[in-house]
Amino acid sequence: MGRSRGFTLIELLVVIAIIGVLTAMVFPVFASAREKARQATCMSNLKQLTLAMLMYLQDNDGGFVPAQSPDNLMRWHGRRLSEDEPFDPTTGPLWGYYRHEQLKVCPSFAAGAETEGFEEGTGGYGYNAQYVGGSPTAWPAMCNPAKEFYIQSLADTVMFTDTAFLDCEGRLFEYSFCEAPYYQVWQSPTNPSTHFRHTGLANVAFCDGHARAMPLVYSHSSGWCPSSYYAGEEVAAYTGDDYWEARLGFLGEDNSLYDRQ
């Protein structure tokens, strides 16, 4: 009875190489599937937030939730006692309509660092503060939210999107507002804040209640580094390419998807 022949070293190396190739092919598929699942969860969260907003609308004579308050202590997602503290979601204007903090957390978003208050508590979502949760005018009247009848096409007006804020050190923070490309009152560029984190797409909810994933169409630089304002430092501004690389931008080149027209 002859001895059974074992594998040679070359054969073992070939098998290992094949396993390596197959692994390299399969892992991206698994990663893509996981991101699709996270994106679906995020979309469900966004729809629940939109439903909460629509219920608030019905209970408040057709008025949308204010995006912020003149004293800077309230956002659509919570309140705080001082500007150095995070927002408490349980005291926010929408809390009574969703009452579950996980509904306000995008599973694909992780904030870069503690921000000593700033806009903590959004979970990665932002509200159209210029036209829906506020008004396209100067402070403090910009804190006055729209009434439903102000908006001519609810199905074409953005309410919420995935958002983030790029600080001067390249970190992404939570941010409360999805900015339109330009401030209407000043005719100046805003800092891009819609975050296209889902393989190049952002989840977007509209004022009629529907939601869909949309691609990054346009980005630009505002001409200054936003967090340098809070730090009191002069820091070089990001370019439009920097924002594009960070997947921050806008749904279009103008304000038409955000405004009340």
Q: Residue 197 pLDDT > 70, yes or no?
A: yes
User: Residue 178 has what pLDDT?
Assistant: 97
Q: Is position 227 within any domain?
A: yes
pTM of this prediction? 0.84
**Is 54 within a domain?**
yes
| Residue 237's pLDDT band (cuts 50, 70, 90) | confident
Distance CA 52, CA 109 (A): 22
Q: Which domain holds residue 206?
A: 9-249
Is the distance from CB of 255 to CB of 181 less than 8 angstroms?
yes
> Residue 39 falls within a domain, yes or no?
yes
3, part of any domain:
no
Predicted pLDDT of residue 231? 52
Average pLDDT over every residue of 247-253: 97
- Looking up tokens 């209640």 gives 209
Q: What is the pLDDT of residues 88-134, one digit of tens each?
A: 999 999 999 988 877 788 999 986 655 555 788 888 999 999 999 99
Kindly report, residue by residue over 3-49, the tens digit of the pLDDT.
Answer: 556 667 776 777 787 777 766 665 565 556 677 888 899 999 999 99
Q: Quick check: is 42 in a domain?
A: yes
CA–CA distance, 176 with 187 (Å, rounded to integer): 21
149 falls within a domain? yes
pLDDT value for 103: 76
Three-class SS of residue 37?
Answer: helix
- What is the rounded CA–CA span in Å between residue 108 and residue 124? 9
Total tally of structural domains belonging to the chain: 1
Q: Which residues contact 246 (CB under 8 A, 6 or more apart)?
A: 164, 166, 170, 172
152 three-state secondary structure: coil
Assigned domain for 146 exists: yes
Query: How is residue 258 written in tokens?
Result: 């955000």
257 belongs to a structural domain:
no
